[in-house]
């Protein structure tokens, strides 16, 4: 309820900015032209993920890693990290927390492993692994668009800090949970219930073809929309009940548009000059760390999307844009509102009965964010 109230307040504020002229109509038009394809991709990708989940794709993947762990908790945990990383990179961090996290937490319950281990591991890695490809995070798409980089060139720019964003949090998680990761569990033997094997195969084929298309250089909304239409056609023919309105990400899209408008209006009123000093300039390690740190602080204060939008004008080059992404992606793991993914994750954990102690979560996230952002920024400075 509180989230809906906040959503309506932000939407009303955005509408007021346009109606009062705080954001001129010419700038509003330019903004919509920029974010339209991005939000279309987000919507289509969400539909693809939800329908693939309805077909049983993620349940099959989870059962596979459960058996592949061969009864050893540490190996199972590594496989959970791998599934989270792959989902975050190729299908976005929101997919990782909304679809993968509940499945691996249920897996932990059934294997008699403390579920908080898998819960925290997925939300940390979903955020910190969402750097390698433009499609991994909405902020990445905006940065790639601003820099005018091909997806392969974008990946070539951020591969080193992206690797640090995976390895450093994984090491920290192991240090925290190493005692609980010892021992064995009993792998499940029952087959995964699949509502329709044909839809499962279709989802595997569609997702398998979609992933390379997203890095081909084609505007990502095009293959994403085609994939969504193909899957929707399959479900229309065989399982219409899955085609519900709630698979459309209405609230995230409304939230994103509202934040876009509010931050752009703030820029029109002089926000850029106010933040320029905090963001710094230059491409030395210290300068990049200053920008990344500003992005991390702003993300945990207000959310990573408005933080990126507010600081984007101060990131004048591809390398500085990458540094900003380090802050708003890898650093947004401290507060519950640091990223939308963390808020969505908390809703799923609460529904599953997993207790999150926010004091410990924030303290651990703060330590991890500092170490990860510094390591990733060093990797960026050395590789660029």
Domain assignment of residue 333, given as a range = 2-383
Question: Residue 81: CB partners within 8 Å, gap ≥ 6?
Answer: 121, 125, 170, 173
**pLDDT at position 195, please?**
79
The pLDDT score that the predictor gives to residue 283 is 92
The rounded distance, in Å, linking the Cα atoms of 181 and 33 is 49
List the single range of 88-102, 234-248, 263-277 with lowest mean pLDDT. Answer: 263-277
CB 362 within 8 A of CB 335: yes
Can you give the pTM of this predicted structure?
0.87
What is the DSSP code (8-state) at residue 108?
H
Contact 233, 198 (CB under 8 A): no
Band of pLDDT at residue 103, cut at 50, 70 and 90: confident
Residue 233's contacts (CB-CB under 8 Å, 6 or more residues apart) are none
Token pair in block for residue 71: 């009864």
Lowest mean pLDDT among 110-124, 250-264, 364-378: 250-264
Contact 319, 288 (CB under 8 A): yes
pLDDT digits (tens, 9 = 90+) for 309-327: 889 988 989 999 999 999 9
Mean of all residue pLDDT scores within the chain: 88
Mean pLDDT within 75-95: 91
Mean pLDDT of 4-27: 85
Q: How many domains does the chain have?
A: 1
- Mean pLDDT to the nearest integer, 139-163: 94
For residues 178 and 113, what is the distance between their CA atoms, to the nearest angstrom?
13
Read off the pLDDT of residues 30-80 as tens digits, 9 standing for 90 and up.
888 888 888 888 888 889 888 988 888 888 888 888 888 888 999 999 999
Q: Which two three-digit tokens encode residue 357? A: 């102690």
Which pLDDT value is given to residue 272?
A: 64
Per-residue model confidence (pLDDT) at position 170: 97
Q: Tokens 């995070």: give the residue.
A: 137
Would you state the pLDDT for residue 2?
Answer: 63
């Amino acid at each position: 309820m509180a989230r809906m109230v906040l959503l309506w307040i932000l939407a009303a504020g955005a509408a007021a900015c346009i109606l009062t002229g705080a954001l001129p109509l010419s700038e509003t038009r330019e903004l919509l032209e920029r974010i339209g394809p991005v939000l279309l991709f987000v919507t289509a990708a969400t539909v693809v993920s939800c329908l693939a989940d309805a077909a049983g794709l993620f349940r099959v993947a989870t059962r596979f890693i459960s058996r592949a762990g061969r009864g050893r908790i540490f190996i199972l945990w590594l496989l959970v990290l791998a599934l989270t990383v792959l989902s975050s990179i190729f299908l976005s961090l929101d997919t990782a927390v909304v679809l993968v996290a509940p499945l691996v937490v249920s897996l932990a319950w059934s294997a008699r492993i403390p579920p908080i281990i898998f819960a925290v591991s997925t939300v940390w890695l979903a955020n910190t692994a969402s750097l390698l490809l433009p499609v991994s995070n909405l902020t990445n798409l905006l940065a790639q668009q601003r820099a005018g980089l091909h997806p392969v060139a974008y990946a070539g720019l951020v591969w080193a800090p992206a690797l640090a964003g995976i390895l450093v949090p994984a090491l920290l998680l192991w240090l925290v949970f190493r005692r609980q990761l010892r021992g064995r569990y009993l792998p499940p033997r029952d087959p995964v219930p699949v509502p329709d094997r044909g839809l499962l195969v279709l989802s595997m084929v569609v997702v398998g073809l979609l992933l390379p298309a997203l890095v081909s250089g084609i505007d990502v909304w095009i293959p994403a929309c085609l994939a969504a239409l193909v899957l929707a056609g399959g479900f229309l023919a065989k399982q219409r009940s899955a085609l519900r309105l709630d698979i459309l990400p209405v609230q995230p899209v409304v939230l994103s548009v509202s934040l876009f408008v509010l931050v752009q209006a703030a820029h029109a009123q002089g926000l850029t000059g106010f933040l320029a000093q905090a963001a710094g300039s230059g491409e030395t390690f210290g300068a990049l760390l200053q920008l990344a740190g500003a992005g991390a602080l702003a993300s945990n204060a207000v959310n990573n999307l408005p933080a990126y939008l507010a600081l984007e004008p101060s990131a004048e080059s591809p390398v500085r844009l990458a540094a900003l992404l380090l802050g708003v992606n890898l650093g947004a793991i401290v507060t519950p509102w640091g990223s939308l993914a963390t808020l969505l994750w908390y809703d799923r954990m609460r529904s599953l009965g997993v207790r999150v102690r926010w004091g410990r979560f924030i303290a651990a996230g703060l330590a991890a964010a500092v170490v990860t952002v510094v390591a990733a920024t060093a990797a960026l400075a050395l590789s660029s």
